[in-house]
Amino acid sequence: MKRRELLGRGAAIAGGATIAGGLAVASASSAPAQAVDAPPVGAETIEFHGTHQAGIEGEPQANQTLVSFDLTGNPEPDDIHRLLSLLTDDAQRLTSGRAPLADLEPELASTPARLTVTFGFGPGLVAAVVGEKNVPSWLGPLPAFKQIDRLQENWSDGDLLLQVAGDDPISVAHAVHLLVRDTRAFAKVRWSQVGFRQGLGVHPPGTTMRNLFGQVDGTVNPEPQTPDFAEVVWRPDHSTTMVIRRIAMNLDTWEKADRTGREFAVGRRLRDGSPLTGTAENDVPDLAATDAQGFTVIGPAAHIRRAKTGDPTQRFLRRAYNYDLGPGNADAVGLIFTAFQADIAHQFVPVQQRLAQSDGLNEWTTPIGSAVFWIPAGVRPGEIVGAALFEPLG
Amino acid sequence: MIRRLLPVLFASLFVVSACGSKDFEEHGQAHPIAIADAWVKATDMDMSAAFGVLSNSGDKDVKVTGVTTTITDTAELHETVNGKMNMVKEFTIPAGGSLALEPGGKHLMLLNLTKPIKPGDKIDFKLTFADDSEFEFSATAKDFTGADENYKQGETAGH
C-alpha cells in the first residue's frame, strides 16, 4: 500500500495546474474523476512519472492487456515524436484518473484502480528515430529455441508495445481503446494479448499467482525496492528490457498426469509451491538431496533444477499473466510469460536455452509467441516517453 | 542509449501554453481566463474544429467575440444545435464559471484549411474578447472520427 496514492490528492494537484480557484467545470473531455464517490479500489493510482516506468516494480494488477504495433508509412523522427507525445499525455491522464483529450466516455477513466501504462520500443521504432545502424544488437527476436518453439507471427515481435495493467478490467479496456485510437495515424495493431491474475482481494496481498495448471507461478522473484531488484532489472540509464513469451498450455494432456507426476515435473508441490525438499514456498530447494534409492528428490528434468544456472546473476523478474480465449479456440489456454532484465543475452537467454534442452514441463507447454522490447527510462513531467532517443549527442 | 541530434523537436515538447488565471496580469492578459484540455480534430480535409474548457476566475462575465489561428485565415465561433451548425457572434464565459467547447455544442470552427492537421500537431489560437483584448493558447491535434456534423462537402453553405 505504501506506493499507492489516493486519487483525491492527485486530482487536486492536476486540477490546480490547469484550472484556477476551484471552478466548477462541466465538460465531456475534461471531467475530473469523482474522487469523493469512487470506492477505494477504483480511486487508487500509481504515479506515472518517475525514474523508472511504472508497471514493472510492485505488485502486478489483476488485469493486463499487451498491444504490439507495426509502424506504418516509413515514419520520420518527427512522426514518432508526435505519436509518443500523444500517448504520453494519454497515459499520464488515464493513470491519474483523468480522461484523455477527446474522450467521450470520461466516466470510464474515473476509476483507474492502479492503472499503469508501460511503453516498449521494438527495433523498428528505434530505427525510425536514430537509424537502423544504431539499433542495439540485442533488440530483436531471441535466438531460436528449436526444441520447443512453435512461434506464430501473429503473436510475435512488433515496433511498439503498450502494457496496460489495472485492477479494473473496464478501465483497462477503456485505456487500451483510447491509446490505440491515438496510434491509428501512425501504426496498426500487430497483436494483442489479454491476461489476468488472481482477482484483487481474493488472496492476501503478496500471494504468488497460480497459473491455469494450478501451479504456484512466480516464486523467488527479486524483491521490489531492493538493491537486488535494481541489479537484476534496471540498466544504468534506468531503462530495462522485456521478453514476452506466449506459452500455450495443454490442459487435456495435463489431465493425464497425476499429482505426483505434475509435482515431479516442476520440483515443487502443487499445494503450496514448496520445493519437494522443503516445507514452505520460499525454502531454498536442495538440488543435491537424494531419496532412499539414491535418486535426487528434485529430478534431473525438474523445471526448478533446469531453470537455475551456475551463475547467480542469470536471473530476471517474472511478471506473468494467464490467458484464456474461451473453450473452442486454438491454443485456448496458457501463460503470457513476461520477463524484465537488464541484459537479455546474459540473464535470460542462457536460462531459456537450458529449459529448451530439458524441462519436465515441455511435455505440456508450447511457446507460440515471442517478442523483445526495450523499455525506456521513466518519464519526467513535461517530457515524453523515450525522450532520450531524441536527445542530441552530448 | 543511442542518441542523435534533433534539436527541432524540442520546440514541440511543451503541450499547453495557456496561462493560469493568477498570473494572467503578468502575461499581459486583460481577463483571468484559462483553458484546459484544448484539442483540435486532426484532418486532411479543409475543415476542422477546436475544443476545450474555458474558465473565468474573475467576477465579471467575459465575452469571446472572435478567434484566429495560424493554420487558416478562416476561423469562426460556431454552435451546433440539433445537429446543425451555426456561426455565432459571441460566447460568454460566465464570471466564476466555465464554458465547455465540445463536439455537438459550441466550438471553434476552422475553414478553408490548405494543409492537413496531423495528429499530435500543436496548433496556436488567439481568442479576441469584447474589449479587443486577446488570449492565446495551443491545442493538440487528436485523431477523432466524431465532431463532423455538417462537415461533409455540400453542407457547408450558410456558414
DSSP-assigned states of every residue in A149-208 = ----GGGS--SEEEEEEES-HHHHHHHHHHHHHTTTTTEEEEEEEEEE-SPTTTS-TTPP
Give me B144's grid cell: 477523432
CA atoms within 13 A on the CB side of A229: 12
- Please report the pLDDT score of residue A268 as a whole number: 98
- Please report the pLDDT score of residue B136 as a whole number: 97
Assigned domain for A255 exists: yes
Beta-carbon contacts of residue A204 (< 8 Å; ≥ 6 apart): none
- Please report the pLDDT score of residue A39 as a whole number: 76
Assigned domain for A3 exists: no
The arithmetic mean of pLDDT across residues B82-110, rounded, is: 94
Give me A275's grid cell: 520445493
CB-based contact B53:B99 (threshold 8 Å): yes
- Please report the pLDDT score of residue B16 as a whole number: 39
Residue span of the structural domain in which A132 resides? 18-30+38-375
- Is residue B155 pLDDT above 50, yes or no? no
A20–B55: do the CB atoms touch at under 8 Å? yes
B34–A18: do the CB atoms touch at under 8 Å? yes
Distance, CA of A250 to CA of A169 (rounded, Å): 26
A303 three-class SS: helix
A29–B96: do the CB atoms touch at under 8 Å? no
- Please report the pLDDT score of residue B139 as a whole number: 98
Phi then psi for residue A370, to 5 deg, are: -155, 135
Confidence category of residue B85, pLDDT binned at 50, 70, 90: confident
Q: CA of B48, closest CA in chain A: separation in Å? A: 14
Domains identified in chain A, total number? 1
Minimum mean pLDDT range among A110-119, A196-205, A384-393:
A384-393
- Tell me the pLDDT tens digit for each residue of A62-74: 999 999 999 999 9
Closest-CA residue in chain B for A30? B37
In total, the C-beta contacts within 8 angstroms joining chain A to chain B are: 144
Instruction: State what percent of residues in chain A have pLDDT above 90.
Output: 88
Confidence category of residue A61, pLDDT binned at 50, 70, 90: very high
The arithmetic mean of pLDDT across residues A275-285, rounded, is: 97
Closest CA to A51 of A234, A224, A229, A242: A234
- Tell me the pLDDT tens digit for each residue of B19-47: 444 455 555 678 899 999 999 999 999 99
CA atoms within 13 A on the CB side of A312: 4
Confidence category of residue A37, pLDDT binned at 50, 70, 90: low
- Is residue A299 pLDDT above 90, yes or no? yes
- Please report the pLDDT score of residue B27 as a whole number: 58
Which element (helix H / strand E) includes A61?
none
Confidence category of residue A350, pLDDT binned at 50, 70, 90: very high
B97 to chain A: which residues are within 8 Å by CB?
23-24
The arithmetic mean of pLDDT across residues A316-327, rounded, is: 97
- Please report the pLDDT score of residue A199 as a whole number: 94
Closest-CA residue in chain B for A103? B144
- Is residue A245 pLDDT above 60, yes or no? yes
Which ipTM value was assigned to this complex?
0.83
Distances (CA, A) of A341 to A134, A221, A233, B12, B32: 21, 12, 4, 33, 50
Assigned domain for A251 exists: yes
A21–B57: do the CB atoms touch at under 8 Å? yes
Give me B24's grid cell: 494572467
Q: Which residue has the higher pLDDT, A2 or A60?
A: A60
- Is residue B76 pLDDT above 80, yes or no? yes
Distance, CA of B26 to CA of B48 (rounded, Å): 32
CB-based contact B156:B47 (threshold 8 Å): yes
* Partner B contacted by A325 (CB < 8 A): no
- Please report the pLDDT score of residue A10 as a whole number: 36
CB-based contact B34:B99 (threshold 8 Å): no
| Window 115-134 of A, Cβ < 8 Å to B | 126, 129-131, 134
- Per DSSP, the residues of chain B read ------GGGGGG-----PPPSTTTTTTT-SS-EEEEEEEEE-BSSS-EEEEEEEEE-SSS-EEEEEEEESS-SEEEEEEEETTEEEE-S-EEE-TTSEEEE-TTSEEEEEES--S-B-TT-EEEEEEEETTS-EEEEEEEEE--S---TT-STT--TT-
Assigned domain for A12 exists: no
Assigned domain for A44 exists: yes
- Please report the pLDDT score of residue B25 as a whole number: 54
A19–B144: do the CB atoms touch at under 8 Å? no
B57–A382: do the CB atoms touch at under 8 Å? no
Confidence category of residue B81, pLDDT binned at 50, 70, 90: confident
Assigned domain for A11 exists: no
B13 to chain A: which residues are within 8 Å by CB?
85, 382-384
Assigned domain for A285 exists: yes
DSSP conformation class of A324: E
**Mean pLDDT score of chain A, rounded to an integer?**
91
- Is residue A24 pLDDT above 70, yes or no? no
A18–B36: do the CB atoms touch at under 8 Å? yes
- Is residue A4 pLDDT above 80, yes or no? no
Confidence category of residue B14, pLDDT binned at 50, 70, 90: very low
Distance, CA of B56 to CA of B34 (rounded, Å): 7
- Is residue B6 pLDDT above 50, yes or no? no
Distance, CA of B39 to CA of B16 (rounded, Å): 10
Assigned domain for A8 exists: no
Mutate to test the interface with A, among B3, B33, B35, B135 (most CBs of A within 10 A): B3
CB-based contact A383:B13 (threshold 8 Å): yes
* Partner B contacted by A78 (CB < 8 A): yes
Phi then psi for residue B48, to 5 deg, are: -160, -175
- Please report the pLDDT score of residue A134 as a whole number: 95
What is the b/e burial string over B107-145, where b = at least 16 CB atoms within 10 angstroms of the residue's CB?
A: bbbbbebeeebbbbbbbebebbbeeeeebbbbbbbbbbe
Confidence category of residue A36, pLDDT binned at 50, 70, 90: low
Confidence category of residue A280, pLDDT binned at 50, 70, 90: very high
- Is residue A9 pLDDT above 60, yes or no? no
Closest CA to B30 of B150, B149, B157, B135: B135
In which residue are the cell numbers 504490439 written?
A68
For residue A371, what are the β-bridge partners? A244
B9–A390: do the CB atoms touch at under 8 Å? yes
